[in-house]
Amino acid sequence: MNIKNVVVIGSGTMGSGIAAQLCNANIPVTLLDLKTEISEKAKKKIFQSKPPLLIDKNKINNIKVGNIEEDFHIIEKADWVVEAVVERIDIKHKLYEKILKSRKKDSIISSNTSTIPLKILSEKMSDKDKKDFCITHFFNPVRYMGLLEIVSETINDEKKISYLKNFCEENLGKGVIICKDTPGFLGNRVGVYAMQVAMTEAIKMQLNIEEADAIFGRPMGIPKTGVFGLYDLIGIDLMSDVLKSFLKELPKSDVFH
Ligand code: NAD
């Protein structure tokens, strides 16, 4: 196993960030989306991003762009395919079916899902494909957030997971933790719960957004965005999907409810 060529599907916030970090590591990467214009726009955004996602802007051409209809054949050459499309299981399932038909033998396929369990993402796959499929949960902004959660199951090829972990640590500079397939994995299970508590308490205490963010920020050892600002950074639409997913996956007895 040797990761020399990567395809990232979905060129939104996370797909762009992952592609940029691969570019920083001199790994050729293709960013695909529904339309080439979307990935092209993403590439421009990567180039202009502040704080910069790229270490060296001259390397931008390590990133190629395309769309999932005309350029899908590129999957045949990829050692690692990262799915970073919207948090919708129907869309992800359809995409996996297509990827698994064309992928290079033994390649790694992973999802950047925030909350959908691995066993649900892979429920329609053969055991052979399940071996090579895992979750690689990067955080936003990818270049600056150290944590990467890799979620695997006993069916996974352990050697491959261990190779991927080393690759992401050494080449992408991540601190990797291997997580069990539990709702929200580790970071979101704790972090989203904390954010929900902070928001609920802020509303109960009739604090305005600026006041709440001033407290639930640097003074508590939390990024200076604060809690409401962090919702904006992550994406309010995405947070709504994340919360729905927690409500669905966590047992009624869980304190989250
Ligand atoms: P986003 O909305 O910014 O981007 C999603 C992209 O997927 C869009 O460009 C959209 O055009 C594209 N897309 C939709 N359907 C597609 C398809 N069938 N084929 C190809 N492209 C398609 O979303 P995001 O914030 O980048 O999130 C992507 C994934 O990463 C989600 O699973 C999300 O839960 C997860 N995630 C997000 C964050 C975050 O902070 N935003 C953090 C960690 C994980």
pTM above the 0.85 mark? Answer: yes
pLDDT at 156: 97
Instruction: Supply the pLDDT for residue 167.
Output: 98
**What distance in angstroms lies between residue 88's CA and the mean position of ligand 1's atoms?**
9
Yes or no: say if 90 and 15 are a contact pair by the CB < 8 Å rule: no
10, 12, 17, 20 alpha-carbon torsion, rounded to 10°: 70
Q: How far is the CA of 216 from the centre of ligand 1 (A)?
A: 27
Q: What is the pLDDT along the chain (257 residues), one digit of tens a residue?
A: 899 999 999 999 999 999 999 999 999 999 999 999 999 999 999 999 999 999 999 999 999 999 999 999 999 999 999 999 998 999 999 999 999 999 999 999 999 998 899 999 999 999 999 999 999 999 999 999 999 999 999 999 999 999 999 999 999 999 999 999 998 899 999 999 999 999 999 999 999 999 999 998 999 888 889 999 999 988 898 899 889 989 988 999 999 99
pLDDT for position 115: 84
Q: Which atom of ligand 1 is nearest to the CA of 88?
A: 32
- What separation in Å is there between the alpha carbon of 21 and the centre of ligand 1? 16
Nearest Cα residue to 104 out of 134, 132, 76, 125: 76
Q: Which residues contact 188 (CB under 8 A, 6 or more apart)?
A: 114, 115, 242
For position 199, what pLDDT does the model report? 94
CA of 86 to the centre of ligand 1 (A): 4
pLDDT at residue number 105: 94
Measured in degrees and rounded to the nearest 5, phi and psi for residue 16 equal: -60, -45
- Classify 88 in phi/psi space as left (phi over 0), alpha (psi -120 to 50) or beta: beta
Of ligand 1's atoms, which has the minimum distance to the CA of residue 112? Answer: 30
Choose one of 65, 68, 86 to mutate for the ligand 1 pocket test, by most ligand atoms within 8 angstroms of C-beta. 86
What pLDDT shows up at residue 82? 98
Residues 6+ apart with CB under 8 A from 200: none
Distance CA 256, CA 122 (A): 26
Distance 22 CA to ligand 1 centre (A): 17
Res 223: pLDDT: 82
